[in-house]
């Protein structure tokens, strides 16, 4: 009887931990990119929420990823199965870019493909969202 109660307790605890971790895992992320004055590329990754990001959030100097190597390190820390939606505007959709976000855009196609291939190797899907994808 005591063993049965212990076993049931362990099963319940394991299930509880598993469910709580699952709830904490975000369904997706947003990725923004822009070229700096020296021609290098900067990136910003944030949780995909039901509200639009602000220019201040996207261009936050504390969270900016400078260059592809920093972006790859950040991508490698995302949970397996994560989806990353790469955006070229704030707000999203067909509306004009938010004031202050005009510099957002996509890097050359080769760089996009390199990042997508790296993400796939880490079981992460990166999807470029734009009605006008660059084909440089």
For residue 20, being part of any structural domain is answered with no
Task: Give the tens place of pLDDT for each residue, 11-49.
Answer: 655 545 544 444 455 469 999 999 999 999 999 999 887
Q: How confident is the model at residue 135 (pLDDT cuts 50, 70, 90)?
A: very low
Q: Is 134 within a domain?
A: no
In a domain, 109, yes or no: yes
| Nearest Cα residue to 42 out of 26, 16, 64, 18 | 64
pLDDT digits 0-9 by tens, 110-121: 999 999 999 999
Look at the chain and report how many structural domains it folds into: 1
57: in domain: yes
Kindly state whether residue 62 falls inside one of the protein's structural domains: yes
Write the pLDDT tens digit of every residue in 82-124. 999 999 888 655 566 777 788 999 999 999 999 999 999 999 9
Residue range of the domain that includes 30: 26-129
Residue 14 covered by a domain: no
pTM as predicted: 0.73
Instruction: Look at residue 81 and tell me if it is in a domain.
Output: yes
Residue 130 CA to chain centroid, in angstroms?
Answer: 16
Is the pLDDT assigned to residue 10 strictly greater than 60? no
Domain assignment of residue 1, yes or no: no
């Amino acid at each position: 009887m005591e063993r049965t109660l212990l076993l049931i307790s362990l099963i319940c605890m394991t299930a509880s931990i598993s469910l709580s971790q699952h709830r904490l895992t975000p369904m997706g992320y947003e990725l923004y990119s822009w070229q700096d004055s020296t021609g290098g590329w900067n990136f910003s990754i944030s949780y995909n929420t039901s509200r639009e990001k602000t220019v201040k959030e996207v261009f936050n100097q504390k969270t900016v990823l400078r260059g592809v190597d920093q972006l790859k390190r950040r991508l490698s820390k995302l949970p397996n199965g994560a989806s990353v939606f790469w955006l070229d505007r704030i707000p999203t959709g067909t509306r004009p870019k938010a004031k202050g976000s005009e510099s957002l855009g996509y890097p050359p196609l080769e760089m996009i493909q390199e990042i997508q291939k790296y993400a796939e190797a880490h079981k992460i899907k990166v999807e470029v969202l734009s009605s006008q994808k660059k084909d440089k």
